[in-house]
Amino acid sequence: MPRLRGFSVIELMIALAIAVTLILLAAPSYGVWVADSRIRAAADSLAGGLRLAQAEAVKRNEDIEFILDPTTTTGGWTLNVVATPATAMPAGTFAEGARLTQFTVLPAGNTIVTFTGLGTIRANNADGSTPFDQITIAPATGVAGTRNLRVLVGAGRTGIKICDPQWTVINADDPKACPTP
């Protein structure tokens, strides 16, 4: 009598149970990875927009405003030439959409930074407001285990830096740590 080849029902059930267990173990880590990726993409978009505004100000030798719209569902940023009349420039959106991240701007309520033709930050914007110093980016939904990132504007009155506030506690001398005030 020839021997039958194949899997028994018990062997298939064991393999299926192992696969489901592995998927259940990996799902929380995947959620944190996706949330961290969205935060990093939003921080990169903000820093890139700020650097573009600074470069355009130097290139044109004119004041350029970076205007942040931190609205959770439709946010983004725009650039304007500060002149009479003001001229709109390129706009950017946050990668993956602003609905996936939330922004905290300091000082609160300030959403404009003006770069001069020398690439420095103007002490007051055209509307009389003071420029914002930092933006903290966090996940829009409460995903446990994610890390927030911070975009610093004007470190030394000209720099733009992405840093990790949690890393400051671990190793304040590391370049990815946020400088302490």
What are the angstrom distances between the C-alpha of 38 and each of 3, 45, 94, 157? 54, 11, 9, 28
Structure tokens given for 164: 């990790």
Instruction: Tell me the pLDDT tens digit for each residue of 113-147.
Output: 999 888 889 888 888 888 988 888 888 776 667 78
Query: Do residues 27 and 44 make contact, with C-beta atoms less than 8 angstroms apart?
Result: no
Pick the CATH number of 11-170 from 3.40.50.150, 3.55.40.10, 3.30.420.280, 1.25.60.10: 3.55.40.10
Which residues are registered as beta bridge partners of 121? 115
Confidence at residue 157, expressed as pLDDT on a 0 to 100 scale: 47
Task: Name the strands in the sheet holding 112-115, side by side, starting at the edge strand that comes first in the sequence.
Answer: 87-93, 76-81, 64-69, 112-115
Confidence at residue 102, expressed as pLDDT on a 0 to 100 scale: 80
Instruction: Tell me the pLDDT tens digit for each residue of 2-56.
Output: 777 777 889 899 999 999 999 888 887 888 888 888 888 888 888 988 999 999 8
Amino acid residing at 180 = T
Instruction: Sketch the domain layout of the chain as residue ranges.
Output: 11-170
Query: Do residues 166 and 148 make contact, with C-beta atoms less than 8 angstroms apart?
Result: yes
User: Three-class SS of residue 89?
Assistant: strand
What are the angstrom distances between the C-alpha of 77 and each of 4, 10, 16, 49, 112? 66, 58, 48, 7, 10
Amino acid residing at 87 = T
Structure tokens given for 36: 């961290």
With a threshold of 0.85, does the pTM exceed it?
no
Query: Do residues 76 and 98 make contact, with C-beta atoms less than 8 angstroms apart?
Result: yes
Instruction: Tell me the pLDDT tens digit for each residue of 82-103.
Output: 876 656 666 555 544 455 778 8
Confidence at residue 95, expressed as pLDDT on a 0 to 100 scale: 44
Instruction: Tell me the pLDDT tens digit for each residue of 139-151.
Output: 877 666 778 888 8
